[in-house]
Amino acid sequence: MPLVRISHPAGMTEAHRQALSDGVQEAMESTIQVPPNDRFHILTEHASGLIFDAHYLGIERSLAWVAVQITLRKGRTVEMKQALYRRIVENLATDPGLRPEDVMICLVENDLADWSFGKGEAPYVR
Amino acid sequence: MPLVRISHPAGMTEAHRQALSDGVQEAMESTIQVPPNDRFHILTEHASGLIFDAHYLGIERSLAWVAVQITLRKGRTVEMKQALYRRIVENLATDPGLRPEDVMICLVENDLADWSFGKGEAPYVR
Amino acid sequence: MPLVRISHPAGMTEAHRQALSDGVQEAMESTIQVPPNDRFHILTEHASGLIFDAHYLGIERSLAWVAVQITLRKGRTVEMKQALYRRIVENLATDPGLRPEDVMICLVENDLADWSFGKGEAPYVR
């Protein structure tokens, strides 16, 4: 059910982009109970337009900086969210090799009635 | 007031994109009381980067898959949201001819104070 | 902490885009207490795909129309949001010279636990 938006610099290979998607997906599966086949990701490359502070909170960011915004139903605990963040940066450090400093994550929560996955159905509120 | 983001595959004609926008707009007007001239849509095409499961919940998706994310003020009932989903896929099946299986919809709710439509005004909280 | 998405027409110089980002950032700093180095903006240009009503609420919009969507933690008052909207359009009128009618703003609120700025940390819920 999460809808994931990944905004990344231009010039990446498709394998690199797939690794970004895979790493976020595995992290959601292993920490916040997202089913393996519940994957809906939108990746957008930016030749320019990613404008960010390179030092905020003492974290040193590089031009490889990526923003991950995840819309998901409400209900995850703070501990689950913390585990999610840790797992995403671990996964992306392994593949495609992103520095943990270069991964921003932002969650937006909504309700069970706010989702349709096709056919005009609202499967979570039957 | 809704802000609509439509993410779709590349290679569509402008008429096709306009039909996507028209179909979503008419559905919002006819099911959740959005005024006809309250239209603010952002369409983004993706030559790649739409990464989704082709079978989640038993719905068979194709490469024509489109994601519609709508930010709107809170207050619509579950029944209104269900009607909205049904109407969007009906409209998009008619024009531009999308399969109902290929339309994902995700809502995000906010408050009346969260909107400005120009001139720096917040018209819903006067 | 805000994550800012600015959707604008294609054909702008980088200086013009930077001015969009700068104007929104300064407004957040001066009206809703965002720290100066807390800047995370994603700008997207649209050769087509910005589909909006040119007259809604009696505001006359032009093809220069820009949409600004800001995700931020909950807690700002209505008065702070109104000040934010006014300041954004003032700043963008000065540079890059946008008409106040051409600036739409939409806020989405989340929680302190919904943010990670790097290293997999959730700094607002330590």
CATH of the domain at B111: 3.30.429.10
pLDDT tier at A1 (50, 70, 90 boundaries)? confident
Q: Angle of helix A14-32 relative to helix A78-94, nearest 10 degrees?
A: 150
Chain center to CA of C31: 13
Give me the amino acid identity at B14. E
Domain containing B119: what range? 3-125
CB within 8 A of B103, min separation 6: which ones?
A: A116, A118, A120, B65, B66, B68, B88, B89, B92
Q: Tell me the per-residue pLDDT of C21-44, one tens digit each, with 9 for 90 and over.
A: 999 999 999 999 999 999 999 999
Inter-chain touch B35–C44, beta carbons under 8 Å: no
State what percent of residues in chain B have pLDDT above 70.
Answer: 100
Instruction: State yes or no: pLDDT of A4 exceeds 90.
Output: yes
Q: Is the distance from CB of C63 to CB of C41 less than 8 angstroms? A: no
CB within 8 A of C55, min separation 6: which ones?
A: B37, C61
0.95 surpassed by pTM: yes
For residue C57, which of B41, B27, B21, B124 has the smallest C-alpha distance? B124
Question: Which of A38, A44, A45 lies at the smallest CB-CB distance from B56?
Answer: A38
Distance CA B92, CA B94 (A): 5
Cβ–Cβ contact B117 with A under 8 A? no
For residue C103, which of C25, C24, C38 has the smallest C-alpha distance? C24
**What are the structure tokens assigned to C75, written together?**
């807690």
Distance CA B89, CA B70 (A): 14
DSSP 3-state of C91: helix
Q: Tell me the per-residue pLDDT of B26-64, one tens digit each, with 9 for 90 and over.
A: 999 999 999 999 999 999 999 999 999 999 999 999 999
For C52, what's the count of Cα atoms within 13 Å in the CB-facing half-sphere? 31
- DSSP 8-state secondary structure symbol assigned to residue A95: T
Instruction: State yes or no: pLDDT of A28 exceeds 80.
Output: yes
CA-nearest residue to A89 within chain C is C120
Query: Which chain C residues touch B35 with a CB distance below 8 Å?
Result: 56
Facing residues of B71 across strands?
B3, B108
- Supply the pLDDT for residue C30: 98
Is B96 catalytic? The answer is no
Instruction: State yes or no: pLDDT of A122 exceeds 90.
Output: yes
**What are the structure tokens assigned to A67, written together?**
């923003």
Inter-chain touch A67–C3, beta carbons under 8 Å: yes
Facing residues of C42 across strands?
A50, C5
Question: Which of C14, C35, C117 lies at the smallest CB-CB distance from A48?
Answer: C14
Distance CA B89, CA B102 (A): 9
Distance CA A36, CA B77 (A): 30
Q: For chain C, which ranges sit under pLDDT 50? A: none
DSSP string, A40-91: EEEEEEESS-EEE-SSGGG----TT-EEEEEEEES---HHHHHHHHHHHHHH
pLDDT tier at B111 (50, 70, 90 boundaries)? very high
pLDDT tier at B121 (50, 70, 90 boundaries)? very high
Inter-chain touch C117–A88, beta carbons under 8 Å: no
Distance CA B71, CA B1 (A): 8
Tokens 């040119």: give the residue.
Answer: C54
Question: Which of B52, B67, B81 lies at the smallest CB-CB distance from A113?
Answer: B81
How many folded domains does chain B comprise?
Answer: 1
Facing residues of C73 across strands?
C110
The alpha carbon of residue C57 is apart from the nearest alpha carbon of chain A, in Å, by 27
Facing residues of A43 across strands?
A6
pLDDT tier at B25 (50, 70, 90 boundaries)? very high
- Supply the pLDDT for residue B1: 84
Query: Which chain B residues touch C69 with a CB distance below 8 Å?
Result: 3, 71
Question: In this structure, what are the phi and psi dihedrals at residue C91, rounded to the nearest 5 degrees?
Answer: -65, -45
CB within 8 A of B75, min separation 6: which ones?
A: B109
Q: What part of B 11-30 touches A (C-beta under 8 Å)?
A: none
Give the residue-averaged pLDDT of A53-71.
98
Element containing residue B33 per DSSP (H, E): none
Distance CA C112, CA C2 (A): 11
Cβ–Cβ contact A106 with B under 8 A? no
- Supply the pLDDT for residue C94: 98
ipTM value for the complex: 0.97
